[in-house]
Structure 1
Amino acid sequence: MIDDSGPGMKVLLMDKETTSIVSMVYAQSEILQKEVYLFERIESTGRETMKHLKCICFLRPTKENVDLLAQELRMSKYGQYYIYWSNVISKQDVKTLAEADDQEVVREVQEFFADYIAVNPHLFALNIVGCYKGVDWQPAALKRTTQGLTSALLSLKKCPMIRYQNSSELARKLAESVRQTISKDAGLFEFRRTDVEPVLLILDRRDDAVTPILNQWTYQAMVHELLGISNNRVNLSSVPGISKELQEVVLSAEHDEFYANNMYMNFGEIGNNIKTLMDEFQKKSQSQAKVESIADMKAFIENYPQFKKMSGTVSKHVTVVGELSRLVGKTGLLEVSETEQELACQSDHSASLQKIKTLLNDSKVSQLDKLRLVMLYALRYESHSNNDVSGLVETLRKQGVPDNYRTLVSAILEYGGKKTRGSDLFGSTDPVAFTKRFFKGLKGVENVYTQHKPLLDSLLDQLLKGKLREAAYPYLGTVQLKDRPQDVIVFIIGGTTFEEALTVHQLNKSSPGVRVVLGGTAVHNFKSFLEELQTAVQPVVMGRKDAIKK
């Protein structure tokens, strides 16, 4: 977009969503190198008139944006306008803009299909939390999801065969909606045919409510779980003794080599890798300081200001890993996670119940982690004859866990319990496959279980072997795929997780000739998943509060 407008000083005019879309893939410093000196928002009033600037507009084709841009063109503030829409724009809207362009300042109008957030090379999201309205779609969310998903297909140049989860009305509706859009804009979807048709597989989060509940142990997933990642930004302002320049950090695989190399590593390995970087620097600085733990690293960095200058990246990661390490210790996360993994992967009711009761009475364990354990237990032992969900909810109450959290235990059963699921989430788990995996690493980073595999793992395995059951995941329409697919786009309604992104990353790495891309309405950590859950079962939960109290 920026190159098309030729040389000269430029302003980039965006809306709230396209600002997020751009910030995920370009650093501001990179855009500055392209002669873009000003970043403005279309909705902001009181912008200065600067006729010497060329204006590159990158906007979502919403009614509001079309109206704002028409207003802008009538009273143009810049010399020339190059307009790019993030998705298909109607002929009527183009006509509206043409009529507003009295001064003939528009040089170009194009559709540039980028109507989604590119998170990782194989992961995209739409930043929609709360797409459910009971067992149906929020209408606005269905519309936005269709736009985002079709835009992703266009930018990947895929016109796929569509399969969807048969047990989900939402999956069927989205499949229909995407097919209608493809039919309506058939000309745009005329790509060169490949030997094997690409497949779009539409799933519903409710089929696997376990994955977003679990604590994570790979770097990117762990940062999102414990600190939260919002459009690549991590807020560290609440970290004890944090310096001003590290209160917000950017974690982007595009611009940060260490992050790109370590985002899928487990916690122990990251500690080792940072230590290696530190050792290299120590050799250079001939320092004799002993660096063994994450705490030693932090002290080392503070004592060597020139090291900070030499490598802002390392000081950033030492801070992030240091904070993760502090939180793991402070909240007893290793014990919690071990019990979570046993709940997800094994079937020993009395042992699990005992462990949960012990952790619920442990003052170190956070309220959220206590809630996690009870929710996992409720899903795992929903139909067990001796299940003690009510007793555990009562313990949560005694431990001061608020009412709005406790109601979510019955909400998770409404949302992702046996009645809702189309697949056998627990039955096919093989207890023998559950093995301890040890972290090798720094002192203070102990061993932990990381054995759970999301449902997506087995679904993709079946799909790529041509064994995914058609009754459970039918094709939309009559045409069916004869060969095993090589190009797969999976989309999860209700949000995906970094654990599932890791599954896709590993699959792509280990299967030459296969490319899987994962998308979701959001990328969840436990907190955002709880928000999703609340909107999905709100009417039901309200009516059940009395039952829960009893």
Structure 2
Amino acid sequence: MNVINAIKYYVTKMTEESGPGMKVLLMDKQTTSIISLVFSQSEILMKEVYLFDRIDAAVRNEGLKHLKCIVFVRPTEENIRLLSDELRYPKYGVYYIYFSNIIPKTDIKLLAENDEQEVVREVHEFYADYLAINSHLFSFGISTCSKGLNWEKPYFERTVQGIIAVLLSLKKCPLIRFQNNSDMCKHLAEKIRYVLNQESNSFKFRQESQPILLILDRRDDPVTPLLNQWTYQAMVHELLTINNNRVDLSNVKGITKELKEVVLSAQHDEFYANNLYLNFGEIGQVIKSLMDEFQKKAKKHQKVESIADMKAFVETYPLFKKMSGTVAKHVTVVGELSTLVANYNLLEVSELEQELSCQSEHSTQLQKIKKLINDSRVRDIDATRLVMLYALHYAKQTSNDIAGLYSMLKKRNVPEKYTKLVYSILDYSGVSTKQINLFDREAVAKITKKLFKGLNGVDNIYTQHTPLLTEIIEDLIKGKLNSQSFPYLGNTVITRKPQDIIVFMIGGTTYEESLAIYNLNKQNPGTKIILGGTTVHNFDSFCEEIEATVVGTIARYKPRSVRDRSDFDHN
């Protein structure tokens, strides 16, 4: 199971089926993002696609009848209307139409009626209807999927379509398990089963074992998205934000024009692919090695003294130039991360975050939070997230000082959009109804501590926190995940070890959880796991999710205590 390979297969097939000759690729906004995540522009050009057009653009290309047009769009009502207009007055010679998901026969009929000039050669469904971020990670780019504890209808439909596309592209017809305390999980599970039944002919795959689709709710683990991250990919997203593999560095002081926006893609950047899971200290050492290697090659290129030297230079120059770009990009990114870590005192902040998420030392932690709130180097968002973690951890403790910390944030003039999160996070996670402390996890998980060293004194930071997702998947693999807390949809119960697991997180997943899935895949060679979410969060996007969710929240969400062993009983 590899979502990047699945998307690449479809795009390659599109470009090959239209035969040789010059082509234009006509897309919509979402399919543009889907393709750009897995293919560079130069790779698309090698497939004889010389022009890119947007069906929803205000200004379109002039008619070029000598070009074949490959249409790749989502089967939305708006796209059907735009495509009907396109076929009535075609700009290109012939059209090969590919929809990214299942399309109703009525829409096909409508397109046929508008194809008066008979320019359409083929119409297909190619199920590339999701953002493939890593080989085991996908997203739908939905920043806030709910209002209160209910789905926003357009985002519900988009999520259903996206998951169906993932299943079809991977050729999996799964059994469905879902988080029983979440109405949103149950609603999504039931709708997916309905579509599987309705489109049963499309899901007749030969399967060696029965795959599992596990649907989870972000609200059961509000801690993971609150933490600062220390692995390369996760850290870049937390501090700089990754948007469709692109990172905006335009605010970096003294940045060159070429580096104002950089692309971080494991598909097209070998250094990034090899190091995206390294922690901050390790990446510093690797960057130093990369610099040393580059400097050696640069000195070699300076010695052009003979015809043979010139020939060697010309032959190796493209690789040298590529390496030069890689070095410049990653040195800039890591340098900016290092600056932010130092300027915002993130080492001390993160250490306390880890303590709050994994240890119970109320008095000591309270004093440390007060100290950091008064530290001018600490950002407002970091002061806020510390108080949010404290509130989640100690809400049930009668001697807690949530109100006092909230007042300190107000006194510090932290904007209201952050201060209100202190109480919103309690509503979001339903902590007021929890009978047992969310953070008392020693009974169900070993706290792992990894010391990382090597860059600017990073020698005392512990990444103690383990996402709840890790424990759930480990129990699922062992056949020990409680069937009352995570029931099968229908009467089916499978006790044998699953080989293929697709996990979907309503309300967004994180790069920390992506790393957890990556490690679980390595530790369980007989099992393949992929992870998806409505979005991939950093702290800012998670705040938006909280704000949208707590609007009109009522007590229908029954939070599950991690410590409640009945949730993890052996079947």
Please indicate, yes or no, whether the TM-score normalized by the shorter chain is above 0.5: yes
Q: What is the identity, as a one-letter code, of the residue corresponding to 1:129?
A: S
Distance 1:202 1:274 in 2: 38
Q: Which residue of 1 aligns with 2:186?
A: 172
The residue correspondences of 1:19-98 to structure 2 (distance < 5 A) are: 19-44=32-57, 45-98=59-112
2:165 to 145, 151, 169: 151
CA positional deviation for 1:470? 0.8
The residue correspondences of 1:491-502 to structure 2 (distance < 5 A) are: 491-502=504-515
Q: Which residue of 2 aligns with 1:128?
A: 142
Q: Which residue of 2 aligns with 1:197?
A: 210
The residue correspondences of 1:387-466 to structure 2 (distance < 5 A) are: 387-419=400-432, 425-429=438-442, 433-434=446-447, 436-466=449-479
TM-score, L = length of structure 1: 0.92
Q: Deviations over 1:370-401 (max 9, x none)?
A: 11100000001110111111100000000110
Q: What is the identity, as a one-letter code, of the residue corresponding to 1:6?
A: G
Q: Which residue of 1 aligns with 2:266?
A: 253
CA positional deviation for 1:314? 1.2
Supply the RMSD in Å over aligned alpha carbons.
1.8
Cα distance change, pair 168–310 in 1 and its aligned pair in 2 (3 A) = closer
CA positional deviation for 1:326? 0.2
2:220 to 185, 203, 207: 207
Distance 2:427 2:293 in 1: 53
Q: What is the identity, as a one-letter code, of the residue corresponding to 2:201?
A: G
The residue correspondences of 1:303-452 to structure 2 (distance < 5 A) are: 310-419=323-432, 425-429=438-442, 433-434=446-447, 436-452=449-465
Q: Taking every aligned residue pair, what percent have the same amino acid on both sides?
A: 60
Q: Which moved more, 1:428-437 or 1:518-527?
A: 428-437
SS in 1 for 2:551: helix
Distance 1:388 1:433 in 2: 29
CA positional deviation for 1:510? 1.5
SS in 1 for 2:26: strand
Cα distance change, pair 436–515 in 1 and its aligned pair in 2 (3 A) = closer
Distance 1:110 1:333 in 2: 50
Q: Deviations over 1:277-300 (max 9, x none)?
A: 11223334459xxxxxxxxxxxxx
Distance 1:476 1:431 in 2: 26
Q: What is the identity, as a one-letter code, of the residue corresponding to 1:260?
A: A
Q: Does 1:269 align with 2:313?
A: no
**Unmatched segments (≥5 aa) in structure 2:** 1-13, 301-318, 555-571
Q: Deviations over 1:234-283 (max 9, x none)?
A: 00000010000000000000000000000000011111111111122333
Q: Does 1:223 align with 2:255?
A: no
Q: Does 1:278 align with 2:310?
A: no
Q: Deviations over 1:407-459 (max 9, x none)?
A: 11111000113356799732223699556532221344443111100000100
Q: Which residue of 1 aligns with 2:199?
A: 185
Distance 2:456 2:84 in 1: 61
**Aligned positions, number:** 522
Distance 1:164 1:270 in 2: 37
Distance 1:358 1:366 in 2: 13
Q: Which residue of 2 aligns with 1:292?
A: none
SS in 2 for 1:311: helix
Q: Which runs of 4+ in 1 moved over 6 A?
A: 306-309, 420-424
- Contact 1:82–1:109 at 8 Å: present in 2 too? yes
Q: Deviations over 1:62-118 (max 9, x none)?
A: 010001001000000000100000000000000000000011100110000011100
Q: Which residue of 2 aligns with 1:296?
A: none
CA positional deviation for 1:38? 0.7
Q: What is the identity, as a one-letter code, of the residue corresponding to 1:265?
A: L
- Contact 2:294–2:323 at 8 Å: present in 1 too? no
Cα distance change, pair 477–431 in 1 and its aligned pair in 2 (3 A) = closer
TM-score, L = length of structure 2: 0.89
Q: Which residue of 1 aligns with 2:521?
A: 508
Distance 1:431 1:112 in 2: 43
- Contact 1:167–1:422 at 8 Å: present in 2 too? no
- Contact 1:436–1:448 at 8 Å: present in 2 too? no
**Unmatched segments (≥5 aa) in structure 1:** 288-305, 542-550
